[in-house]
Amino acid sequence: MTVGIFKDCDIRGIVPEELNPDVAYFIGRAFASSFPEGTSFVVGGDVRTHTPSLKEALIRGLRDSGGNVVDLGTVPTPLFYFAIDHLRTPAGVMVTASHNPPQYNGLKIGFAHRPPLPEDFTALARKVEERAFRKSVKGRLLSVNLTEEYLTFLASRVPPPRRALRVVVDCGNGCYSELAPRFLHSLGHDVVPLFCTPDGTFPNRPPNPEAKNLRALREKVLETRSDVGIAFDGDGDRVVFVADDGTVLEGEKGIIFFIRQHFAPTPGEKKFVYDLKCSSVVPEEVRRAGGIPIPERSGHAYIKRRLLEENAVMAG
């Protein structure tokens, strides 16, 4: 097995040379063996062509080590995290390579009360290498669809829009292809779908919504005279915005938008955790909004952990 697939914040490799069903099975065995027998795990997967075989092997491994599995089906990563909380399960595994090219796949791990840490992946890699698996009665398997519950949750977190917008939604043929247009339409917006048919070969653009991959979105925003364009990555946990003039609002500009719209109106003492790679523009904007900027090293696990430790309002 390639130990190099175990990164600081996730597991990721080229299929099948580095990551294949055998490896996914062993990871499932090791992960379930790290919890008490009978623990329940949620499992989801993205739209990549090799995700079904990896997910099936992972689930088999979890069950063979005594884990009970709740299979969410094909879902965006944010719905996977929602499911851990909604179903009150201790942990889960999402089969996805996020924004990486189609030849990659991977596994994201979620815990109920904290983000995964580098030491979690180090320990998991060691268990896989040593085949330190528990012998157990096979766990149960249950399939559930949480689409409606997730959309209801999202609606409860979003204030009514001041006015209806014309929005071009570029899902890149990824996991949000059906949910994102539906949700925005439910808020009253005029939705123009772009690449909103799930397709794990990603025929229209790479899964990464960086500026160089968003030409079609920029053109569609201008063509339809839309107010905004939204582009998601392959598993739906990364988003980029395009302004009405076709300008891509990458990185810090997107963060500043959320600081002004959602962080600034929050009353009382408030903290904002930001990536150390950000320029001084971000902490300056936080201070201007009456907040306390807190820098943190790059990596979603580190930023999420600091967010929780500081009881911060937002992070980015």
pLDDT of residue 204: 98
Mean of the per-residue pLDDT values for the chain?
96
Q: Please compute the mean of the pLDDT values over residues 132-142 and round it to a whole number.
A: 96
Those residues whose C-beta lies under 8 Å from the C-beta of residue 167, and which sit 6 or more positions away, are: 184, 189, 190, 191, 192, 226, 227, 228, 229, 230
Q: Give the pLDDT score at 299.
A: 85
40 belongs to the catalytic site: no
Catalytic residue among 40, 98, 177, 226: 98
Q: How far is CA 218 from CA 6, 214, 223, 247, in A?
A: 36, 6, 9, 7
Grade residue 1 by pLDDT with cuts at 50, 70 and 90.
low
**Is 312's pLDDT higher than 90?**
yes
Q: Which two tokens stand for residue 64?
A: 């063979």
Average of pLDDT values for 114-139? 95
Residue 255 sits at φ, ψ, to 5 deg, of: -65, -45
Angstrom distance (rounded) from CA 293 to CA 263: 12
The mean pLDDT of 87-112, rounded to a whole number, is 97
Q: How confident is the model at residue 217 (pLDDT cuts 50, 70, 90)?
A: very high
Domains with residue ranges and CATH for the chain: 3-146 (3.40.120.10), 158-249 (3.40.120.10), 265-315 (3.40.120.10)
Q: What is the mean pLDDT of the segment spanning 11-36?
A: 98
**Residues 176, 233: Cα–Cα separation, whole Å:** 9
Cβ contact 1:23 at 8 Å: yes
Query: Binning pLDDT at 50, 70 and 90, where does residue 41 land?
Result: very high
Question: What does the pLDDT read at residue 159?
Answer: 86
pLDDT at 15: 98
pLDDT average, residue stretch 153-162:
93
Residue 255 pLDDT greater than 80, yes or no: yes
